[in-house]
Amino acid sequence: MRDVLRLLAGVLVLGSTASAALAQYNVDFSDGGPAAPAPAITYGAASGQAGVWNNLTIATGVTALPLQDTTGALTGVTMSLTNGGFMFDASSSGPNGIITPPGSNEEFLMDDIWDPPPNGQLTISNVPAGNYSLYMYGGSPDSSGVQMIFIVNGISQTVGGLWSNPFTCQSGVTHTVFNIVQGSGDIVVTMPDVPGFEGVNGFQLVPAVPEPLGASMLVVAGLGLSLRRSRI
């Protein structure tokens, strides 16, 4: 019985360690206006992933910019943006920007954006291999009609519409989620040109439910079955 418990503890620790090794990043785009501060480290947005938010306030010359993970540690994971876009603040604009409360985390994330050039790209480099959920925020503060398009690994998803009042993150309206099985390397997000002002509010790269955890549950089930049989 002691050997069984030791094995089980080892499997659970392995799952926890593998999960911790995956990349965890929050990024907010800002222009220096009223909505410029990054959200608080307690704010998890749609994903629930709280922690440090990288706050990017420039739109040109962003090449291999090192990112802080959610603990605030500077890492080898970097971000690059296609030149030619710009940042702007629409916190006082309708119909959406006026919905988020002034000074709130929702305003800090959603009301200032990066407007990429046509077919602009956001590249996240040196991402450790693993399973991830990429939350792309594309809600437009100054329009409920703009439909942002994000393309990742050939998969296209659309974001846009009228925000809820009081504000909540709404899948398909404020953000979308890509499930990514990542080998070591780059994650590239392409944004085709659309009518109106495109806008990227930010993104979160979140470890998906780690495979080791699933494996550990199978081990637990197997051990339980073995113990049951041994008692019969």
Instruction: Please list the pLDDT of the chain residue by residue as tens digits (232 residues).
Output: 455 434 333 433 334 334 447 989 999 999 877 778 999 999 999 999 999 999 999 999 999 999 999 999 999 999 999 999 999 898 888 999 999 999 999 999 999 999 999 999 999 999 999 999 999 999 999 999 999 999 999 999 999 999 999 999 999 999 999 999 988 789 999 999 887 777 899 999 999 975 444 444 333 344 343 444 444 5
Is residue 181 domain-resident? yes
Report how many domains make up the chain.
1
> Is 206 within 8 Å of 24 (Cβ atoms)?
yes
pTM score: 0.82
Q: What is the pLDDT of residues 73-131, one digit of tens each?
A: 999 999 999 999 999 898 888 999 999 999 999 999 999 999 999 999 999 999 999 99
Is residue 117 domain-resident? yes
DSSP letter, residue 101? P
Is residue 225 domain-resident? no
Q: How far apart are CA 182 and CA 193, in angstroms?
A: 26
Parent domain of 68: 23-209
Is residue 12 domain-resident? no
Is residue 8 domain-resident? no
Q: How far apart are CA 145 and CA 155, in angstroms?
A: 22
The H or E element spanning position 9 is helix 2-21
> Is 149 within 8 Å of 200 (Cβ atoms)?
no
Is residue 151 domain-resident? yes
> Taking phi first (over 0 means left), then psi (-120 to 50 degrees means alpha), and beta for anything else, what does residue 51 get?
left
Is residue 220 domain-resident? no
Is residue 158 domain-resident? yes
